[in-house]
Structure formats: C-alpha cells, structure tokens
Structure 1
Amino acid sequence: MSERTKIKLVSEIVGAIVLTLLMQLMGVMGYGQYTWMCFLPLLMFFAFGVDLKKIPEMLLCYAIGELWCVVNSLVTGLFTMWFGADNLILSSIVPTIIVIFCILLVHENLFEGRVFSNVPCIFMGMSTSFFTLFMQQPIGYVHLFCFWAFGILLAVCLVMGGMLVCGAIFGKERASKALMPLGADGK
C-alpha cells in the first residue's frame, strides 16, 4: 500500500468520525429531520476543490438564492393576480422563466468573476427555499442559512481534522502532499 493511500485512509477515517459526530448536533438542537441539509454544502465545498477561500462566496450566494426565491414568489404572485391561478403557464411557468433568466443574466454576466457569481450556490439557496415553501416546513430562510453555514463548517472540520491527525502521524509536509488532489501539484 502506498504512503499516499495510507495517509488518505487515515484522513478518511478521521473525516468520517468528525462528520458523523458533528452532525449529531442537528438532532441535539431539535433539527434532526434536517440533517440532510448538511450534505448539500459538503457537496458544493468538495465540488469547488476544497478551497477555503470560496467559503464567503458560498455563504453569500446561498443567501442571495434565498432572496431570489422571495423575488420568484413575488413575481409569481403578480402573474397569478393578473392572469389567474388556473392559467398554469402564465401564473407559474412564465414568471419562473423570467426570474431564472434574471438570475443568470445578473450573476453570470453582470457579476461574472465576482463574489456574487457563484450560480450553483445561488440555485441551491433558491431550491432549498422552494422546498421549505412548497412542503410547508416549519423552518424559514434563517434556519436554512444556518444549516448551510453549519454544513460548510462540517466540511472544514472534516478536512482540517484529517490534516491535523495525518500531520501528527506522518508529518505535515508528507500529509499535505498526499492529501492534495492528483493533478493539483502538476503531476
């Protein structure tokens, strides 16, 4: 077994323990049924390459997505008022197309390359907000944002916990090198 594999195995064991134990806090706080929400920021964090610098952008854009859900609700409400709830196309589909177009226009074009341009996190904020709205969950946008932030904290703890333990066992330099994604060091 290669040294890289050994180091990664230790990191993965530590990560699994850290993540599982910290997720228990959702239940302790009375939100156990929303533990699934912690996995969404984990997915994004790892998809963005475990880049700690992306965290402020992830948090901000998630909150922006929640705001876009409010905008979508307002626009849909106006269209429903104008065209009637029975007209599915004009009361629901067209307003949502308009809002999604605006999201893409604003965040992919106007804010391209800036902290407001993380469209995946914007859509995640919007979609989880839709979920709680449509499923009539007894939580709101602040809860969702806190769950999102907690999930990001879990991701950081998972990565840092693995790094700390592996650094203590194998040495910081060897652990860092082994835990770096393939291709990130030019190989």
Structure 2
Amino acid sequence: MKINRKVRLVQALYGSIILTVMMQPIGMLGYGSYIWMLFMPLLLFFAFGANFKIIPSMIVSYICGVAWALVNGVLAGLLGGLLPETMVNIAAPIIVIFCILTVHENFLAKTIVGNVPALFMGLASTFFSFLIVPANAPAITPVHLIGFFLYGILLSVILAGGGFAVCSLIFGKDKVIEVFEGK
C-alpha cells in the first residue's frame, strides 16, 4: 500500500473518531438538532486549504454576516410599514446583499472582514436558523450561532492539526508533509 493511502486512512480514522466524540457535547447540552452547524466552518476551513492563518478572518467575517442578517431583519421591519410582505422579502435582502458586496468585497476585501464566503455563511446560517427551528429544538440566538461556529473552528483545528500530528508520529513528519503537498 502506498504511503499516500496509508496516511489518508490513518487521517480518516483519526478524523472520524475525533469528530464524532467532539460533537457529543452539543447533543448533551440539548442542541443536537444544530449539530449540522458544526460542519459549516469545517467545510469552509478545508475549502480554504486548511490554512490556519485565515481563521481570524473566518471568525470576524462570520460575525459580520450574523450582524448583517440582523440588519436585514431591522430593515424588513422598517419596510414592512411601506411595502407588501412579498416586496419586503425581495427589497430587504437586495439592499443588504448590495451593501455587503459593496462594503466587504470592494472596500474591505483585504482586511479581516473581507472574507466574503465566511460572511455569507454567517448571513445564511442566521436566516436559516431563525426561519426554520427544528421540532423539539431550543430556540437559538446570534450568540449560539457564533458559539457553534467557534466550536466548529475548534473542530477544524483539532482535525487538521491533530491528524497531521498523529500521522507524523506514525509515518514521520517529512513523509506526511510530502503527502499533503501532493508529492
């Protein structure tokens, strides 16, 4: 068996165990219906190449996305007195998304709040979580959303860093680096 396959198998075993064990506290605290939210930062982190340096911008931009979702709610409330509901549901998101793209993608693109994918993840998870509450699940707040995201980031760090460490102990650091660099 090639070293690449061995490293990936060990990493898969480590990841499956750690991920499963670390998801348990969410269920034990009564938020089992929201476990899916832990995977969102995990997906984003690995989509960015498991780059630890991008984590601060992921966190801050996600929080901005949650804030923009709240702005959308306030704007919808203001427009509700002026427009029919169907128009409010169109106008408010158009205005908010335009503002997000103008501010974060144009003016703040190279700053800590310029991570537009993480920002939209915050926006979308806020919309989704507040519009669709799973049966028998506790209601959550923006603080919960941010907490779930941060815990998902922690999972990402432990999966990437711990997986690398375990594989390095077994196969040697240089070989593992070669596998991850695609050599």
Give the alignment's TM-score, normalised by structure 2: 0.92
The reply on whether 1:177 has 2:174 as its aligned counterpart is no
How far residue 132 of structure 1 moved from its aligned partner, in angstroms, is 2.2
- Give 5+ residue unaligned stretches, structure 1: none
Task: Give CA deviations for 1:47-66 in whole Å, capped at 9, x if unaligned.
Answer: 11100011111110110000
Distance 2:130 2:17 in 1: 33
Separation in structure 1 between the aligned mates of residue 178 and residue 80 of structure 2, nearest angstrom: 57
**Residue 127 of structure 1 aligns with which residue?**
124
Question: Which residue matches 2:74?
Answer: 74
Q: Are 1:109 and 2:106 an aligned pair?
A: yes
Would the aligned equivalents of 1:19 and 1:158 in 2 still touch at CA under 8 Å? yes
Q: Hey, what does 1:60 align to over in structure 2?
A: 60
Q: Does the 8 A contact of 1:41 with 1:148 survive in 2?
A: yes
- Correspondence for 2:19: 19
Deviation string 1:89-147 (CA, Å, 9 cap, x unpaired) is: 2x220121111011000011000121111111111111111122222561000001000
TM-score by length of 1: 0.90
CA–CA distance in structure 1, aligned partners of residues 168 and 12 of structure 2: 14
Instruction: Tell me the equivalent position of 1:159.
Output: 160
Q: Which amino acid aligns with 1:164?
A: A
- Residue 140 of structure 1: aligned partner: 141
The percentage of counterpart residues that share the same residue type is 44
- Does structure 2 retain, via aligned residues, the 8 Å contact 1:80–1:92? no
Distance 1:52 1:139 in 2: 28
The structural deviation recorded for 1:173 is: 1.6
CA apart distance, 1:84: 4.1
Between the two proteins, the alignment pairs up a number of residues equal to: 179
- 8 A Cα contact 1:8 1:179, kept in partner: no
